[in-house]
Structure formats: C-alpha cells, structure tokens
Structure 1
C-alpha cells in the first residue's frame, strides 16, 4: 500500500486528477449524510456542473464509488446511495471520509475492535515466523519513534511504518491487506490527537512499541499479543479523550 493517503491527509494537498477529486468530494458527501442512505443522487448534468468535469469523468467516478459499495445505478431511476452495511469499510478512502466528516465513540470503538482482532494475532504470528532481519527492522522502527524531534506528522508516519512491518513479519499475506484500515485509524489519531506535545508522551510511545518487538524477539507469542493489545488500547483512549475534550 502506498503512503499517498497518509501524505495527502498530512499535507492537505488536493487530489491530483479530476476523477480523484470527484470521487473524494462525492464520497465525503455520501459518508457525511449530505446524500443520505437510500437517496437518489442528482443527475449527471447537475453533478457535472457542480464539479466542473465532463460526464465521462463523472461516470468513471461513479464506477469507483460503486466498487466501494457506496452507490448502485438503477435503470430509469438513477444512482442510489446504498445502505451503510454494504459499504466497504476496509477501504482506506471510506475510512478517511468518516474521519473527515467527524467520528464518535461508537465508530472508534468498532474500529479499535477490528484492529484488536487482527493486529495482536499478527504480533503473535510474527513471534513465530519473523526472521532475525525482520525483528531487527521492527526494532529500528520502534526506537525511531522515540526521536525527541518528532512532529505529529513524522510520528504518525513512523507509527504507520511500524504497524505495517508487524503485519509483514507475520508471514500471512491476508493480514497485510488490513493495512488500509490501520492507516486510516492512524490518520485519525494524527488528526485528533498526538502525543508529541510532551517529551514523555513520545518516550512512552517508543517504549510500548519496543516492548512489542522484544516479545517478538523472545518468540513469546502470548506476550507479543498482549503488548500489541496495550498499544492499540492506549491509542484508542487518547482519541476518546481528545473527542471528549472537543465537546466539553
């Protein structure tokens, strides 16, 4: 998976192509509820004028949104917004659109529960399968998270690299495909809260991640699983506190 999503969120840079811009703006409008579930999207002429693109670009964007499970075309009716249960929530764009439109405790809880279902098991598998070179690479990434000069952006990227390296080291190619979910979750952490405000926060993040690698290096599957669970729960609690502080 490329880092383009993360880099786009961090930089705030717009999508490069007309197709990507339409997909992004329409996707956000659907996820935010501007176009509610069950509603029919405006016709091609209206949407083409709204986004200042050709009908060809618009149709290609609709195909992309349909592939993500957001919409379905109906002959003589129009393009309908599908129920949320049909949306592909493992899609990195859809997850990022949720964060862009605002997330609540329930959404974060569901997201963390999925991470807890996958990542601790990936850490346990890494303890069983990782090569010495992979363990050394994970340790370098974990130690690098303790750099006192980290900005919120650079720490978020370092965090992502670490978690993806654990998925790689698990040796299970299916686990690597959940990387988009983890990327979107960490984008949410970056946007809502970062431990870089205090040096002790960065030190704690580094220590917690180093512990994961230490347990993997000991080939202790249960301890590696536990250490990963702790990291995910700490991140979840930090976001929850940030959300509550914003609404206080």
Structure 2
C-alpha cells in the first residue's frame, strides 16, 4: 500500500478521513519529517481539492492525535514522536500498515510484559466459566492443523483478548482492543506454524495459562503469561539495543 492510497480495507472513508490518513501516514513514514512545517495551505487546498473549512478540520484531527502543532505566523509543524498518541486506534492502524519495525515490536513487547501478566493474574481470581470456555476454544483453534500465519495469529489473539476480558478490568480490555491490529501483525511475524513441534509447544504454553487461571493460581497464571510473551518475542530474533 502506497502513501497515496486513500481507501481503507475495513470500510469506505469519508473525504476528511482520507486526507487525515494520507497526511498521517506521511508523517509516520517520515515522508513529512519531524520538525518541518506541513506544505503551505494553498498547496494543500490544491492537492486535495478541498475547502479551507475542511482543511482546518483535518489539521485539528491530526493535532488531536499529537502528530502536528499549529502556531500563528509559524505554521503547522510535525511534532516529535514523543507526542504521538499510539493509543489512538487510527494512528496505530496506520503504523501497522507501514509495517512493524524492530523498535515498534520491542515497544509492543515491553508494554505487553507490563500489562498482560497482571491481567492473567486477575483473571485467575475473576474469570467466569464462559470466559474460561472462550480461552479453551481459542487454544483448541490454535491446535488445529493446516494453519497459515494469519489464521494462527487470529486464534492466538482471541486467546489474549479472552484473558484481558476475564481480568474484570475494563481498562485492560479496552487496551487490548486498541492494540489488536498491532498484536495481530506481531503474532503473524512470530507464528510457529512452519514447525509442527514448535506450534504444539506454543499451544501447550497457552493451555498452561488457561490451566492456571482455571485453578485460581494468580502467580502461576502471571508466570505462564510472561513466558508466552518472552517466547514469542524471542522468535522475532531482534538485536538487543541495550547490549554493550
């Protein structure tokens, strides 16, 4: 997908959304570098064939996502990534569309390591029979033969979403919903489907999380979840930026 492709695979976008997406992806890709001003208003009006009113709304949307800041007599400048809101569903989906680089995968791993073991620990105390059944169904799907990377990743994601829901913490479930696209992309990259023995090991490690949750063992559930996250990250075989 090129940066000039406006259409979304999920649903048709409004003209406003198309322009926001195009400029947003150009910022995320570096085509519009950090610290530079966006093209002058007349140029953008001609490029997108829109009114000043629509352009102002586009800039407000980009600013709300932390991508740009507008100042009188200075113009609209691309902000440093520290201001970008990666919990904005649009922004995260654009980033995933551009591909997960090593840094993004590592950031996702660090965030998951901080949150998901705690979610599993809470699920061991709060899960309902229905939620446990959701986890077991996801594990069973993962164990099915004939998966491709995408289908296995979807079953894997369903398991982790079920655990977050079983935590009983709506913020944890909301977080999982926001980052689903990034998780699916990451799971696809670390999918074990090319090796039957490894696939079974991954299935068994997820089943161990469900077993601990069913037993009400919070410590074991957290430990098993962290082991799964560490194993998946290890399969990406990324360089360690903190190594001497």
What TM-score does the superposition give when structure 2 sets the normalisation length?
Answer: 0.83
Q: Residues 174 and 180 (structure 1 numbering): CA distance in 2 closer, same or farther, change over 3 Å?
A: same
- Residue of structure 1 aligned with 2:12, choices 12, 16, 23: 16
- Partner in structure 2 of residue 44 of structure 1: 41
* Greater relative contact order (CA < 8 Å, ≥ 6 in sequence): 1
Offset, 1:75: 2.2
Instruction: Provide Cα deviations, 1:24-62, integer angstroms capped at 9, x if missing partner.
Output: 221121112222222111123323443455554443332
**CA, structure 1 residues 55+202, in 2 after alignment: closer, same or farther (shift >3 Å)?**
farther
* Unmatched segments (≥5 aa) in structure 2: 1-7
Higher helix proportion: 1
The worse-fitting range, judged by mean Cα deviation, of 41-50 and 218-227 is 41-50
Q: By how many angstroms is 1:144 displaced?
A: 1.1
What whole-Å deviation, never above 9, does each CA across 1:135-190 have from its counterpart, x for those lacking one?
12211112211111222222222222221111111001111221145424323325
Q: CA RMSD in A?
A: 2.6
Q: Larger radius of gyration, structure 1 or 2?
A: 2
Give the structure 2 partner of residue 130 of structure 1: 127
2:114 is matched with: 117
1:54/1:16 CA distance change after superposition, 3 Å: farther
Instruction: Report the equivalent of 2:226.
Output: 229
Relative to structure 1, the CA distance from residue 15 to residue 193 in structure 2 (aligned partners, 3 Å threshold; closer, same or farther) is farther
Decide whether aligned partners of structure 1 residues 45 and 158 sit closer, same or farther in structure 2, where only a CA change above 3 A counts.
farther
Partners of 1:58 and 1:231 in 2: CA distance:
46
Where do 1:1-248 residues align within 5 Å? 13=9, 16-17=12-13, 18-51=15-48, 53-180=50-177, 182-190=179-187, 192-240=189-237
Q: Give the TM-score normalised by structure 1.
A: 0.81
